[in-house]
Structure 1
Amino acid sequence: MSRTMYDIDPAGNVITTYTGTDSDKETLRSEKTKVPLAKAVFYAFLPAGFPHTVTDDYLPYQTYDSLQAFASSITSLLANRAVLEGLGVGDSSTSPTGALILKITGDTISRIATILFAHRMGQAIEPECKFYRFLADILNDSAQFLDLLTPALPYFPKLGIIVSAGVLRSLCGVAANASKASLSAHFALTGNLAELNAKEASQETIVSLLGMLVGSLVVRLVEDKQVVWVLMMVLVGVHLAMNYRAVRCVKMRTLNRQRATIVFREWLEHNTILNPDHVAQRESILTSGRGNVSSKSGEYTGFCDFGTYSDIMSWNPRGYHRYDFETNTYFLGIWHRAGNFYMRLALKEGTTSALGAWFDAVNHAYHFDSALKDGLQSHYENEMPLGYVSDEQKDSLFSALRTAGWDLNTNALETRLPIRVRVGGDGKKGM
Structure 2
Amino acid sequence: MSKSIYDINPAGDIICTYTDPDRETLRSTPTSVPPAKAILYAFLPAGYPHSVTIDYLPYQTYDSLQAFASSISSLLANRAVLEGLGVGDSSSSPTGALILKITGDTISRIATILFAHRMGQAIEPECKFYRFLADIFNDSAQFLDLLTPALPYFPKLGVIVAAGVLRSLCGVAANASKASLSAHFALTGNLAELNAKEASQETVVSLLGMLVGSLVVRMVEDKQVVWGLMMVLAAVHLAMNYRAVRCVQMRSLNRQRATIVFREWLEHNAILTPEQVALRESILRQGRGNLASKTGEYTGFCEFGTYGDVMGWSPRGYHRYDLETGGYFMGIWHRAGNFYMRVALKEGAGSPLSAWFDAVHHAYHFDSALKDGLQSHYENEMPLGYVSEDQKRGVFEALAAAGWDLASNQLETRLPIRVRVDGKRGDVKKVAPSEKDPALLLGQEVKHD
Distance 2:133 2:380 in 1: 45
The residue that corresponds to 1:362 in the other structure is 360
Correspondence list, 1:24-39, <5 A:
24-39=22-37
- The answer for the alignment partner of 2:235 in structure 1 is 237
Give the distance between the partners of 2:372 and 2:232, measured in 1 at CA: 56
Cα offset, 1:387, TM superposition:
5.1
Aligned-pair CA distance for 1:382: 5.6
What residue in structure 2 maps to residue 318 of structure 1?
A: 316
1:7 is matched with which residue?
7
Match of 2:59 among 58, 61, 67: 61
Contact (CA 8 Å) 2:6, 2:16: kept in 1 or not?
A: yes
* Separation in structure 2 between the aligned mates of residue 185 and residue 380 of structure 1, nearest angstrom: 44
Residue type matched to 2:15 in 1? I
Q: Secondary structure at the match of 1:171?
A: helix
Aligned-pair CA distance for 1:7: 0.5
Give distance in 2, aligned partners of 1:383 and 1:328: 21
Give the root-mean-square deviation of aligned CA atoms.
Answer: 1.1
Aligned to 2:83: 85
Shift of 1:287: 3.3
User: Displaced runs of 4+ in structure 1, greater than 6 A?
Assistant: none
State the partner residue of 2:441. none
Q: Deviations over 1:84-111 (max 9, x none)?
A: 0000011111110000000000000000
Q: Determine the structure 1 residue equivalent to 2:340.
A: 342
Unpaired runs of 5+ residues, structure 2, are 424-449
The unaligned stretches of length 5 or more in structure 1 are 426-431
Q: In the TM superposition, what is the alpha-carbon distance from 1:379 to its structure 2 partner?
A: 2.8
- Asked whether the 8 Å contact 1:74–1:211 carries over to 2, the reply is yes
SS at structure 2 position matched to 1:17: strand
Q: CA deviation at 1:370?
A: 1.1
Partner-residue secondary structure (3-state), 1:70: helix
Q: Which residues of 2 match residues 265-414 of structure 1 at below 5 A?
A: 265-287=263-285, 289-381=287-379, 384-386=382-384, 388-414=386-412
1:209 maps to 207
In structure 2, what is the Cα distance between the partners aligned to 1:159 and 1:374? 58
SS at match of 1:364: helix
How far apart, in 2, do the equivalents of 1:207 and 1:131 lie? 23
Is the contact made by 1:256 and 1:289 (CA closer than 8 Å) also made in structure 2?
A: no
Q: Percent identity?
A: 84
Match of 2:24, SS state, is: helix
Distance 2:12 2:286 in 1: 40
Q: Are 2:134 and 2:173, in contact at CA under 8 Å, matched by a contact in 1?
A: yes
Normalising by structure 2, we get a TM-score of 0.93
| SS state at 2:297 partner | coil
**CA offsets 1:303-335 (integer angstroms, 9 cap, x no match):** 101111111111111110000010000000000
What residue in structure 2 maps to residue 428 of structure 1? none
Aligned length: 423
1:16 and 1:315 map into 2 onto residues whose CA distance is 69
* Letter of the structure 2 residue corresponding to residue 99 of structure 1: A
1:421 alignment partner, SS class: coil
Aligned-partner residue type, residue 258 of structure 1: Q
Distance across 2 between alignment mates of 1:288 and 1:132: 15
Q: How has the CA–CA distance of structure 1 residues 235 and 61 changed in structure 2, closer, same or farther, with 3 Å as cutoff? A: same
Cα distance between partner residues in 2 of 1:337 and 1:290: 21
Distance in 2 between residues matched to 1:393 and 1:226, nearest whole Å: 63
- 1:47 counterpart = 2:21: no
